């Protein structure tokens, strides 16, 4: 499955979203995004997902990380892009009960979804 995610970063702070408890990976942290539809460009998919999931218009920047993670439901190829919000970010979404900014040094202390971990580690060491 091809998935895209947004890394909102401002100075030493990064946006993370916690999945609602009743959803797959509930209670775990992730970068917002979603599935790439068949024939869809990854950057266009990410812009669409951010509008649907967070009601945010965003400028999609450079690819930060692309990693395939094997999960019980199969492989997930996650491409994480650096993104700049053009509209205010919400405090919650239909998929997330918490949306918050964290100092990069605190990211490792969060309980991350497996596919998002490689990008998270890149943010800590950069």
Residue range 52-102, pLDDT digits in tens: 999 999 999 999 999 999 988 899 999 999 999 999 999 889 999 999 999
Residue range 9-23, pLDDT digits in tens: 999 999 999 999 998
87 backbone dihedrals φ, ψ, rounded to 5°: -135, 160
The domains of the chain are located at 2-125
Q: What pLDDT, on a 0 to 100 scale, did the predictor assign at position 112?
A: 97
Please tell me the pTM assigned to this model: 0.93
Structural contact between residues 79 and 62, judged by C-beta atoms closer than 8 angstroms: no
| CATH code of domain 2-125 | 3.90.79.10
Structure tokens at 101: 């900014």
The residue that leads in pLDDT, 122 or 72, is 122
Residues 94-122: what's their mean pLDDT? 95
Q: In sequence order, what are the beta bridge partners of 103?
A: 13
Q: Which residues contact 109 (CB under 8 A, 6 or more apart)?
A: none
């Amino acid at each position: 499955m091809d998935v895209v995610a947004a890394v909102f970063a401002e100075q030493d702070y990064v946006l993370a979203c916690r999945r609602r408890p009743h959803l797959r990976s509930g209670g775990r942290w992730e970068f917002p995004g979603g599935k790439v539809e068949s024939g869809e460009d990854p950057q266009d998919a990410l812009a669409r997902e951010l509008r649907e999931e967070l009601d945010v218009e965003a400028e999609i920047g450079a690819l930060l990380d692309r990693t395939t993670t094997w999960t019980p439901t199969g492989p997930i190829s996650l491409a994480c892009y650096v993104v700049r919000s053009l509209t205010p970010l919400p405090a919650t979404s239909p998929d997330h009960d918490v949306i918050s900014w964290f100092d990069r040094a605190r990211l490792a202390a969060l309980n991350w979804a497996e596919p998002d971990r490689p990008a998270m580690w890149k943010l800590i060491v950069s």
